[in-house]
Structures are given as C-alpha cells and as structure tokens.
Amino acid sequence: MVKAQKKIDAVIPAGKSEIRKVHDFGANDKARFPLNGKPMVEYVVEAVRASELVGQIALTVPVGTDCSRLEDKVDKIFFTDRPLVENIEMAVRYLLDSDYILLTSSDLPLLDSGVVDSFIRQCLAGGEADLYYPIMRKEELLKEYPQTKRTFVRVKEGSFTGGNLALVRPGIILNNLKLFERLYDQRKSPWGMARVIGLSCALKLLVGILSIEEAEKRLSKLIRARGKAIITREVEIGMDVDKKEDLILVRNALSIRERKEIPQASC
C-alpha cells in the first residue's frame, strides 16, 4: 500500500437533500437513493474506504438512518439533524489530529478509489497549500459525459466547473465555517460565489477576464491561508446528482461499469 506523505482522513456529510423532479421514481432522499440496489452514499463510502491514501472516515447521517450497510465501512457515524456546516464541524473535531481532511459530498456515485487517490496525489504534488479545490475543463468533462448539464464558469484560462471534493486542513474549516456556509449556499451560482469572494472578482468574472490565480489570491485572503485550485481530469468529481437527468445519467454509467467488471464466461 502506498502511504500518503501526510495523514489524511475523510468527512462525508450525508444529510437530508432531495433530487429534483424524481417523484415518479419513488423516494428522493439523495444520499439514500437506491442506485442499482445500493444507496448512493455507499458508492462514495466504498470509494473513499478503498483509497490507498485515506485513513479514518467520519460519516454524518440524519437521526434514525439505517446504517447497517455502512457501519463496518466507516470509523465513526454521527447521527444528527443539525445544519450541514454544524455536521461538518462535528466530524472535523473528531478528526482534529489529521494533517488534511478530504471533504466529499455524498452524491458522487461515479467516484472510485482511483479518482480519490489521483486527486489527493495531485494536491500534494501541487505545492504547499491549506485548501485544495478541484476544477475541471468544460471540454474534458463533456468528452466523458456529453449528456450532462453543468454550470460552467468562463475565466481567462477557459471554461471550468467545480468539483465536489476538497482537501483542507481541519483548522481552516473550523476557522471559516460561516464563509464556507455562504460559499456552499451559492455553489450552483458562479455569480453568487464571486460576490461572496469580492466585488472585483465578481465584475472580472462577469466579463470573463478573471484569472484562476486572481481567484486563488482573493480566496486565500478571505480564509487567511493559502487556497489553491487543482485542474483535474478526474471528471467524476464533478458528476454530482441534483436532478432527475443526473440520476438517469449516473445510473446508466454505473450499469455499463458493472457489466464491464463481470468476468465473461469461457466456452
């Protein structure tokens, strides 16, 4: 097993969240939505658990959640109906001796351990920072998943979309909970996120002249630490499930993947 240069643990918040326009599918609780017989969050847990670079895993779920399928795959489960940011804080405090926390959403069923390891390695090789955030080029994501509809942001270097993983020092999370809550609330609105970061960034983004370096510097100033964007080709990091169309896409992708993994019988 390849060991990480630094101790990395993971937090997976899996609170109550709905998938839009899936009432005809039955239950629509995102993290617990069944995909090919498995709750969506279980795909994420298994991907992180199989990582060569992740140690402990802390999972947060709503009170009353049946975690019988997950209790042997994570190190700590918090049953909580608190707001998302408070749940993350609770889990981070449990893992406070970690050098870095891998923070991942619970609606990334296309995630696998190879994607997780590749992202972490790219972060650790990308220069010393306190927060690493993945971004993907529009053309690379659409090449892999042409049917997907994502929000892309045009900056000087091209068009990008954000991912749903982050590698961050635990103290940075705890010192910036309110800021991260505001950024999370605006995660689907590039204009809204830019306004949180600052007016000058927002205006430059509006006319397409904001650079990645400028955004990094502004974010670093806000969190009083170094933030760094990681341009990654691991596009599965950006394939979260928000609506019915996303659900259909990932369900089909998982079915194709699982068929490829089944050994073919010999004659």
**How far apart are the C-alpha atoms of 252 and 112, rounded to whole Å?**
16
Q: 68: domain CATH number?
A: 3.90.550.10
Query: Is 161 strand, coil or helix?
Result: strand
Q: What's the whole-number average pLDDT of the chain?
A: 88
Q: In total, how many domains does the chain have?
A: 1
Q: Is residue 125 part of a domain?
A: yes
Q: How confident is the model at residue 207 (pLDDT cuts 50, 70, 90)?
A: confident
* Higher-confidence position of 244 and 119: 119
Residue 96: Cβ within 10 Å count? 11
Is 220 a residue whose pLDDT tops 60? yes
User: Quick check: is 97 in a domain?
Assistant: yes
Confidence of residue 3 (pLDDT cuts 50, 70, 90): very low
16 Cβ neighbours under 8 A, 6+ residues apart? 29, 31, 62, 81
The token pair at 257 is 């993947």
CA distance 42 to 22: 20
State yes or no: pLDDT of 141 exceeds 90: yes
CA–CA dist 162, 151 (Å, integer): 9
Assess if residue 1 is contained within a domain: no
Q: Is 266 inside any structural domain?
A: no
pTM (predicted TM-score): 0.90
- Residue 266: pLDDT band by 50, 70, 90 thresholds? very low
Q: Alpha carbon 230 to chain centroid distance? A: 13
CA distance 241 to 264: 31
Does some domain include residue 2? no
Query: Is the pLDDT higher at 264 or at 181?
Result: 181
Does residue 156 lie within any of the structural domains?
Answer: yes
Residue 263 falls inside a structural domain: no
Has residue 207 been placed in a domain?
Answer: yes
Cα–Cα distance for residue pair 92/227, rounded to 1 Å: 19
Which residue(s) pair with 135 in the sheet? 162, 231
For 3, which DSSP code?
P
DSSP string, 207-267: TT---HHHHHHHHHHHHTS-EEEEE-S-GGGG----BHHHHHHHHHHHHHHHHHHSPPPP-
Q: Which pair of structure tokens corresponds to residue 154?
A: 């045009």
Domain interval for residue 158: 8-252
Model pLDDT, residue 225: 96
Band the pLDDT of 181: cuts 50, 70, 90. confident
Which amino acid is located at 125 in the chain? A
